[in-house]
Structure 1
Amino acid sequence: MKSLFCLLLVCILVASAAAVADLHWYPATATWYGSPEGDGSDGGACGYGSLVDVKPFRARVGAVSPVLFKGGEGCGACYKVKCLDNSICSRRAVTVIITDECPGGYCSNGRTHFDLSGAAFGRMAVAGGHGLLRNRGEISVIYRRTPCKYPGKNVAFRVNEGSTNFWLSLLVEFEDGDGDVGSMQVRQANSNQWLEMTHIWGANWCIIAGPLQGPFSVKLTTLSTGKTLSARDVIPRNWTPKATYTSRLKFFA
């Protein structure tokens, strides 16, 4: 019985990982924005703010069409993107983190499109061909989901500006693995009840209740595979808006 349980658990974990680490490539198009060697936008429609200006985000950010943005629930997902023009593109793919949405132009009418930072776009070129590739404008690419990796970083929760004891808003940072968030809950001090948070925009979630009393435990479930993280008392009793609190936990299935 124990052996059967272990086998079933392995199968579940493998299937869960495959849902994110998709080995199949899908067609899309890509453009770039900002300065030629730039890092892209300052958080954009996901709300990451200045976090995208520093590693591990730096030069790896990208905006996507609504098909992949998913109303903000696609924020934080990681993709490998590869150019198809062998005359100017290398065989390597660039890994990008979704931090923004491009709702119009190339990204409209249900198209699957990546609008990458200038630096990320140029990295798909052969040596010395960065400028030539950027001059192409829109290009054909293939893409696939890939697990997000943030070496040396634990999952963190930023308390958004304007949060009070009656309106608490959180943003997730450095989410390894799936990268995206499908639901989030908080639990107050001395309580066994998890309170459901509401997705408001981008990667931001909130709860209207109160008065809310910290410390708060946070539980989130990823959109892609349903993996769950429960961080106990990660936000202290004396929390402050605009502060970021780091958990000591990793994701588990």
Structure 2
Amino acid sequence: MASSFRRPRSIGRLLVALAVLMAITVTRVDANFQTSDWSLAHATFYGDETASETMGGACGYGNLYSTGYGTATAALSSVLFNEGYGCGGCYEIRCTGATACYAGSPSIVVTGTNLCPPNWAEASDNGGWCNPPRVHFDMSKPAFMQIADWNAGIVPVMYRRVSCPKTGGVRFQFQGNAYWLLVYVLNVGGSGDVCSIDVKGDSTDWISMTHNWGASFQAFANLGGQALSFQLTTCTSQETLILYNVADAGWSVGLTYEGDSNFF
């Protein structure tokens, strides 16, 4: 399903610009997202060159082309997936120490968009690659082919957390109804992950949304007919971003609304 991006409406363009300047607040608990040190892991791939099997993963990002993630993605072992709180995190990965690795050890930055579940029927070092406590990346085949010969099947890699470069604002895909708002959070920059979200209607105080699964959060409240604002806090960098009037009072489920700012 094609997404429709909607920005807040106002009386005039000048009023919108002034409102954005006054309304968007970024509070930094941690100065900036810091790239982590390199660590060892392993990587496999799933699907084929079309990456069609990577669409609609456990994070809830849906069609990864239309939501902007493309094929530079990976399913994360449960240690990294962290019950969905790891969704949206970006990792630089490079193949190392194997003949299948491409010369020069090229790297690729991928986003965690899916869960690689445990396979308890197989040993952790022989088929159960995503069994805890292993750190593992099950990459899309196009991403894997950027760093190694796909015929290898599995390769040792070095990885590190990096900032997610995004264009445009944080996006909110609405599901549910006027009394149960389910929001999928997309296109998050910086550390990319989201630990908590609050929502505020024109007639309500801030309401803490509960984590549903993956990158989705929910609020059981009567929010229909109200312009909605959101406050997000990231997991890794503990940065908070407040976006006012992301969706106007005529918001509808099934649509995606875009804020006017993002994490750096």
Does TM-score exceed 0.5, indicating one fold?
Answer: yes
Name the residue aligned to 2:170. Answer: 155
- Size of the aligned set, in residue pairs, is 227
Name the residue aligned to 1:185. Answer: 198
Name the residue aligned to 1:245. Answer: 257
Q: Could you list the per-position Cα deviations for residues 181-218 of structure 1 after superposition, in whole angstroms to 9, with x for gaps in the alignment?
A: 00000011044x21000001110100112365511111
8 Å contact from structure 2 (residues 30, 239) kept in 1? no
The TM-score normalised by the length of structure 1 is 0.84
Is 1:209 paired with 2:225? no
Over 3 Å counting, the alpha-carbon distance change for 1:209 and 1:64 in structure 2 is same
Name the residue aligned to 1:97. Answer: 111
Paired-residue identity, %: 34
Name the residue aligned to 1:123. Answer: 146
Letter in 1 for 2:79: V
8 Å contact from structure 1 (residues 26, 142) kept in 2? yes
Q: Could you list the per-position Cα deviations for residues 107-156 of structure 1 after superposition, in whole angstroms to 9, with x for gaps in the alignment?
A: 0131100000000000003xxxxxxx2111111111100000123x2211
Quote how far apart the aligned CAs of 1:86 are. Answer: 5.7
Quote how far apart the aligned CAs of 1:237 are. Answer: 0.7
Runs of 4+ in 1 over 3 A off after TM superposition: 9-12, 85-88
Over 3 Å counting, the alpha-carbon distance change for 1:213 and 1:10 in structure 2 is closer
Name the residue aligned to 2:33. Answer: 17
Over 3 Å counting, the alpha-carbon distance change for 1:136 and 1:211 in structure 2 is closer
The TM-score normalised by the length of structure 2 is 0.80
More strand by share: 2
Name the residue aligned to 1:130. Answer: none
8 Å contact from structure 1 (residues 149, 177) kept in 2? yes
Q: Which has the higher contact order (CA 8 A, sep 6+)?
A: 2
**Among residues 111, 122, 130, which one is paired with 1:107 in the alignment?**
130
Query: 1:7-86, aligned counterparts within 5 Å?
Result: 12-13=30-31, 16-18=32-34, 21-22=35-36, 24-36=37-49, 38=51, 40-50=53-63, 52-54=64-66, 56-85=68-97
8 Å contact from structure 1 (residues 78, 97) kept in 2? yes
RMSD: 2.1
SS in structure 2 at match of 1:197:
strand
SS in structure 2 at match of 1:17:
coil
Quote how far apart the aligned CAs of 1:240 are. Answer: 0.8
More helix by share: 1
- In structure 1, stretches of 5+ residues that fail to align are 1-8, 126-132
| Matches of 2:251 and 2:206, distance apart in 1 | 19
8 Å contact from structure 1 (residues 84, 142) kept in 2? yes
